[in-house]
Structure 1
């Protein structure tokens, strides 16, 4: 398990040997150097130093704005509200009471903080576009007030004659401004690397997961707005001192987007982006406006070109071509890996074994005419593995959502540890000790694997806030993170971004995050889905260990493991409980056999399997068709790293190919290379005589290659019918034929995809691929997370697809696909370790163990023999 190598992902970013950064490579040091250089150039050329002072102020203005955009994912179109109002606060206070530069900045900052607190309490009830428009509306309201309240704001003429008693000269004030900007920028950098800053980034990526860990999303956003508002308030105060006056123009909607524009020009995901954006904005505005009043006609094309060539802005260019320009919003390193990782040991959840940790009484929930819970009552005992099973669509995940507070029930009550939590907010339930994993992967894709787990550990240690201490200097928390990553076999991938992990590795990462919470009750929603057999064994053993010290409520479709692991099993069918008791008793229950397994004989040998085997026998003797797809010595990878190495693969017309291998060996990377979403670094991909190695994905699709992706990837807010119509093209299968293949879809045509079960979503995903005139269909884990009866149904449908197209099926479980296939390929560490008859591989159990089993040493030996 711990021998996992870097395969189906980019090579890791640098794993730090230390947390501290060398001073001359610190981004604030780089900022200081740049401002000093351009100041020196300005003085040497006799240019006004005030222009460089304005650049420094706008850098801080854009940095405060980008604090919300880059770290939290909120775009404030009206950041000028804080900028302009803080300027007026300073000017009005100076006029009434006098003061100096320091007191003026304090007044501007405090006033901006008060505005952020009041306005944030209102507008943070909304996010996305609504948040952006609300901030813009606040800015425009402030402009109207400032422009027309002449007696206080000076109206159109503004307020002048603001004095600078300490820094009267332009040069001395410039030095003061640069110093203030650098200090505040350094404070922002520290906050970004403190526990609170890491929490912001996690919230940016996945609000639901943050809530499930026990964090208060609303309060986090409010505090972030206060920090950003205070930062922008400092910039507004400096601008008033620079101009020695204040004007309503800065509040106008025409200038409201200036800081956002500067952040985008420089790079919203780069800490130094606001600096480059401010320099570009001020210089171009200054030079172009000297030539023409319509300078935006020339400035706008610059923005368009930048957006097309470098979505990460100017800093993106520097990172692409400069070896030392590595700065992003945070460091690209993680804490040093310890010489010896402490083995993970579950913490004892405690409590009286005689009392139930969770009691559900007469719980009910319906969505329109669909009843998902109908009078459910059950108890979950301590130190027990309680499995909650049922066919797809039975309402299991909805039940978990109700328990964790993401959905409120229509009736009944939930009691946890003697406390009624029926109406309690989700994050407060998590803090009480309810932890969960999700059926659909729920991780933080833009954080490293280490950081994903560290955010969960931070939650378990009740470190809700932390604005100063570097998150990576907490050795106790770091050691806990390494233990958890090692427990699921991801210690070697700790520095990799989560987005770059394979699906199975993300599933393992989510399990590690759930374990990090040290909760009293663990709700695990299909934790084994998408895992290779070797990983399933390890994770299943880990879950069994957890049940000795925790209450575990498990949803899982691997019925054999459920029966082997569980202390108690409850079965849900059509929203009602049909069985509850010991595994042996539940397994013999006729209602369970009928509802969950489909029919009494399904568990032993589904009839469909016999048909599939017979079809395979018939195909075994047929001559191979013409070559449809050919990979010739293909290598591919991410960010300069190699995932596939010298792969040769052939698919003939009318053929079914099984593509097998452990998690992370390159299966998904191969599908991406075939479909064109990832281009091969060497070798050729030829489809029907056309070299498609460098072709766009949409053009490859038009040639007849369709992908049924892992995770289904439907459009959740559209109906089933709309999802299918979006993929429809002339020559594809009509809806009537789709409904014959999947009769259930005829009933679900007007249902939103978000409300479908896992099996129903898989049917829609396959059907969507058929709406295209496909000659090659790639199915990525088509049976993942499905109940046995649904697997049987989907397998029969997949078998029928062979009359329409060739198939390449990626699957972890060899036995579920080999009987359907003509030939099989097995990948080990990005190379083909086996390519031949599917029947031969199916019959050779020892070979399957060496290629797909637990032992990594055997597969390495086989690779040496086949090299």
Structure 2
């Protein structure tokens, strides 16, 4: 057996800490009960952290199981059970049974409601224990509980330490087992876990019951230590102790509950000896940690060692095999002559708003079937009905001839329906390998397996490596998911979608936000996958859809207006009018613009030698950029080169590592984001980030300041918003949201507007509207426009800046770059329009 895994095992370090504390207390002649209490509360906190750190649930009242199990043990020992170890085991089982009943009810609520329900249960238990004097002893509790197997404090102390270590070992094994890995997936992205075939409600219920078992055992041990039980452990005053200890030690660290328990118990013991109001001293300590070390004591140590990462599990992946088996799809056995999916008169309405009206569709195996349509056509709503996110208002969904209209999402996934999402939906705090392995596990082993290490299950690992290799991510398997560039995250999402032995792949805008080189890679991958699966694709890149699809269906205003081969759909007049805006070859030419006047204006923003990055890494290095008054600049570059990072640096949301930054003669390098905004720099962020529950007008009013555009002027710039001014942002189409986001940046007195991917995900007709508005703004306000598609933005800007690997590779006249296709291809990986279609 290798020595390193043993030496780095957290169970070994817990044992060493317990032993060290015991010896230190014995050397002082002090009773070991305090160390026993620390061990008990370590298990108490670790049980709570099974929900908080691993599952993403925050129980304010886990004390209901700690306190009730204490009473269970006492009542059993004072009653029918005379053997203390048997009473311990029975109290744990009773605690788990109580959790099964309570969890079945309160887990139907999430977030704050779940937390408050646990607290309410604890308070009810306190009232019962405090007032049911005949059974619980009331405020005096139950005393004189016999401890038959342990005649000295040291005997019980050693027993408690040994069994707490055993319970912690079980927990460490559990979180590395298949079930424990699913808990972490649910924590990161519950909807994604459900879309892979996991019954997340059942997963959370099992975690809740296991938490109750661990916490219940800790409570039972406390009864034996005190040889009595009291109601105060159930009251709201003590309900948060375990959560407090866990947060103090570090929620995202396995050893966090240990350090939290030591700090809490020792400080309580020492401070309460000084003053009854010991919380007046202890509370500021909690405040200091909350402000300066959110990751608790463990996080503080890591920060000092400059090695900040979660340590809830081992930071490893299984070894890469010498030869990775090629990916094979289980869907290849499907009959190509029978539709795998059918919808019949499928409809969806939200009150009077109809988003899908009697849609009839057939999807066949080994066919790349695309769905297109303008913003707001109902494409994503249609996908949500197919996958069970939304129940249809009418109609039927058949999969391989079986009616699945009323099946939940996880049940549809188990049949072989998998999807990617318009907004990236992966597990951000898991590694690339673990993202895919958890998905593979869903079909092959489910969430079961409570002891076997998930990384020792060879069939799962082999399948995971095959899928990663198929999408080109095998070399990045060990990388944390959050560190991947956008293009790699899209590939990872496709890998996760493949991993559940999919027969039908529903891909929702997989090319959104990708640079041209990445778009070609992903498009080719999708094309290859359609040879082994049925693929239903939503995508706004019309040229590419026409080039790679076998069949295209068109939605408009919730109706199917066309369905057929790509060439037929492209010529359909109704499609051209509804989606493309103008017939191919008849698109409106960008308006002629005068570039030199704006580019020669007075300097407004000047950045010199900028270096910025994340977590010690450098994304941009030595960047010089200037923007003149009224000038429009295109900020271009392949995905991951640092375009959004530069915008974040300019707006103050990302601190500079080096360089200087000035705006209108004022140094803004160290200014806060709100100060920079008040000086005249506004950001239109990628993803729009509107306030969903506010109307269009309210979104604008909340940002409006004297000197900016009036709301009426915004409506003149975007006429479509006038008709939608009372609609809530959550009910707007993507194009309408983008218009509101731009208008919101203009109702403040902006001199410079930074637009991050303003055309992303928009239909061509909507792109024309947004582009026309930006042309009207030329000269009135300076603009920096981040855009992947150079051909879209170059005609309307004065200058272009191209980033390559965090440095500026080109800065010059936009017209020159627009004409130089070879330079575009070298710097951006961009191809000409007709070459793109051929690809």
Same fold (TM over 0.5): yes
Determine the C-alpha separation between the residues in 1 that align with 2:443 and 2:377: 32
Partner of 1:761: 737
**Where does residue 61 of structure 1 map in the other structure?**
44
Give 3-state SS (helix, strand or coil) of 2:639's partner: coil
Contact map agreement 1:671 1:778 (CA 8 A) in 2: yes
Q: Which residue of 2 aligns with 1:40?
A: 23
**CA shift in 2, pair 1:676/1:472, >3 Å:** farther
2: CA distance, partners of 1:844 / 1:395: 39
User: Which residue does 1:675 correspond to in 2?
Assistant: 651
Q: How does 1:629-640 map to 2 (within 5 A)?
A: 629-640=605-616
Distance 1:187 1:272 in 2: 14
TM superposition shift of 1:790: 1.1
Higher relative contact order (CA 8 A, sep 6+): 1
Structure 1 position 127 matched with structure 2 position 110? yes
Aligned partner (choices 83, 98, 103) of residue 115 of structure 1: 98
1:864 is matched with none
Aligned to 1:6: none
Distance 1:325 1:634 in 2: 25
Of 494, 498, 505 in structure 2, the residue corresponding to residue 515 of structure 1 is 498
3-state DSSP of counterpart to 2:166: helix
Matched, 1:280 2:260: no
CA distance in 1, matches of 2:679, 2:197: 48
Secondary structure of 1:64's counterpart equals helix
Cα distance change on mapping 1:696 and 1:622 into 2, 3 Å: closer
Cα pair 1:437 1:510 within 8 Å, conserved: yes
Contact 1:439 1:526 survives alignment (8 Å): yes
Relative to structure 1, the CA distance from residue 730 to residue 453 in structure 2 (aligned partners, 3 Å threshold; closer, same or farther) is farther
Q: Distance in 2 between matches of 1:341 and 1:644?
A: 36
Alignment equivalent of 2:788, drawn from 812, 822, 836: 812
Tell me what 1:420 maps to: 403
SS in structure 2 at match of 1:316: helix
Cα shift at 1:109: 1.0
Match of 1:610 among 585, 590, 594: 590
Q: Which residue of 2 aligns with 1:730?
A: 706
**Residue 632 and residue 490 in structure 1: after superposition, are their counterparts in 2 closer, same or farther (change >3 A)?**
farther
Instruction: Work out whether residues 823 and 837 of structure 1, in 8 Å CA contact, stay in contact via their aligned partners in 2.
Output: yes
Where does the alignment leave 5 or more consecutive residues of structure 2 unmatched?
A: 832-839
CA distance in 2, matches of 1:227, 1:318: 30
Corresponding residue SS for 1:817: helix
Contact 2:198/2:446 (CA < 8 Å) preserved in 1? no
Task: Name the CA distance, whole Å, in 1 between partners of 2:428 and 2:299.
Answer: 20
User: Cα distance, 1:754 vs. partner?
Assistant: 2.3
Q: Which runs of 5+ in 1 are unaligned?
A: 1-17, 856-867
Contact 2:77 2:84 in 1 (8 A): no
Alignment check: 8 A CA contact 1:441 1:510 kept: yes
Matches of 2:245 and 2:166 in 1, distance apart? 20
The CA distance in 1 between the partners of 2:95 and 2:597, in whole Å, is 79
Deviations 1:106-133 (A, max 9, x none): 1121111111111111111111111111
Shift of 1:340: 5.0
How far apart, in 1, do the equivalents of 2:445 and 2:769 lie? 46
Deviation, structure 1 residue 529 = 0.8
**Pairing partner for 2:35 from 41, 46, 52:** 52
Q: Which residue of 1 aligns with 2:837?
A: none
Which residues of 2 match residues 215-614 of structure 1 at below 5 A? 215-322=198-305, 328-339=311-322, 341-600=324-583, 603-607=584-588, 609-611=589-591, 614=592
SS at match of 1:388: strand
Q: Report the secondary structure of 1:356's partner residue.
A: coil
Distance in 2 between residues matched to 1:556 and 1:135, nearest whole Å: 44
Contact 1:191 1:468 in 2 (8 A): yes
Partner of 2:818: 842
Change (3 A) 1:186 1:799: farther
Find the residue that maps to 1:610 and give its secondary structure: coil
**Residues 62 and 118 of structure 2 are in contact (CA less than 8 Å); yes or no, is this contact kept in structure 1?**
yes
- Aligned partners of 2:433, 2:15: CA distance in 1, in Å? 31
Are 1:183 and 2:166 matched, yes or no? yes
- Taking the TM superposition and a 5 Å limit, the aligned residue runs for 1:19-98 are 22-98=5-81
Contact 2:194 2:410 in 1 (8 A): yes
* 8 Å CA contact 1:606, 1:792 repeated in 2: no
Relative distance call for 1:854 and 1:845 in structure 2 (3 A) is closer
Query: Counterparts in 2 of 1:635-654, with a 5 A limit?
Result: 635-654=611-630
Query: Any conservation in 1 of the 2:346–2:395 contact (CA below 8 Å)?
Result: yes
The residue matched to 2:608 in structure 1 has which SS? strand
1:605 and 1:507 mapped to 2: Cα distance?
Answer: 33
Secondary structure in structure 1 of the residue aligned to 2:823: helix
User: Is this contact kept in 2: 1:644–1:831, CA < 8 A?
Assistant: yes
Tell me, in whole angstroms, the C-alpha distance in 2 between the residues paired with 1:254 and 1:591. 67
- Distance apart, 1:47 and its partner CA: 2.3
Q: Which is worse superposed, 760-769 or 406-415?
A: 760-769
Task: Return closer, same or farther for 1:440/1:115 CA change in 2, 3 Å cut-off.
Answer: same
Deviation at 1:650, TM superposition (A): 1.7
Question: Of residues 705, 715, 733 in structure 2, which corresponds to 1:739?
Answer: 715
> Hey, what does 1:831 align to over in structure 2?
807
SS at the partner of 2:683?
A: strand
Alpha-carbon deviation of 1:698?
2.0
Residue 622 of structure 1: how far off its partner (Å) = 5.2
CA offset digits 1:119-156 (Å, max 9, x no partner): 11111111111111111111111111111222221222
Aligned equivalents of 2:616 and 2:137: distance in 1? 59
Per-residue CA deviations over 1:148-194 (Å, capped at 9, x if unaligned) read 22222122221111222222222221121111111111111111111
Please give the per-residue CA displacement for 1:469-523, whole angstroms capped at 9, x wherever unaligned: 2222233333433343344444444333333333333223212211222311111
**1:467 alignment partner, SS class:** coil
CA apart distance, 1:403 = 0.8
Looking at structure 2, the residues matched to 324 and 853 of structure 1 have their Cα atoms a distance apart, in angstroms, of: 36
User: How much has 1:461 moved relative to structure 2?
Assistant: 2.5
Alpha-carbon displacement from aligned partner over 1:675-728 (angstroms, at most 9, x marks no partner): 222212222222222332232222222222222112222233333333333322
Taking the aligned partners of 1:483 and 1:636, their CA distance within structure 2 comes to 36
Answering whether residue 634 of structure 2 is matched by residue 658 of structure 1, we say yes
Deviations 1:520-557 (A, max 9, x none): 11111111111111111111111111212211111111
Deviation at 1:437, TM superposition (A): 0.9
What is the SS of the residue equivalent to 1:778?
strand
Distance 1:19 1:413 in 2: 57
Q: 1:148 aligns to what?
A: 131
**Counterpart position of 2:762:** 786
How many residues align? The count is: 831
C-alpha distance in 1, partners of 2:598/2:620? 31
Q: Which moved more, 1:22-31 or 1:62-71?
A: 22-31
The question of whether the paired residues in 2 share the 8 Å contact of 1:349 and 1:519 is answered with no
**Structure 2 CA distance for partners of 1:771 and 1:579, relative to 1, 3 Å:** same
* Structure 1 position 701 matched with structure 2 position 685: no
Q: Are the counterparts in 2 of residues 73 and 204 from structure 1 also a CA contact under 8 Å?
A: yes
**CA distance in structure 2 between the partners assigned to 1:378 and 1:41 by the alignment:** 74
CA distance in 2, matches of 1:622, 1:761: 29
Contact 1:19 1:472 in 2 (8 A): no
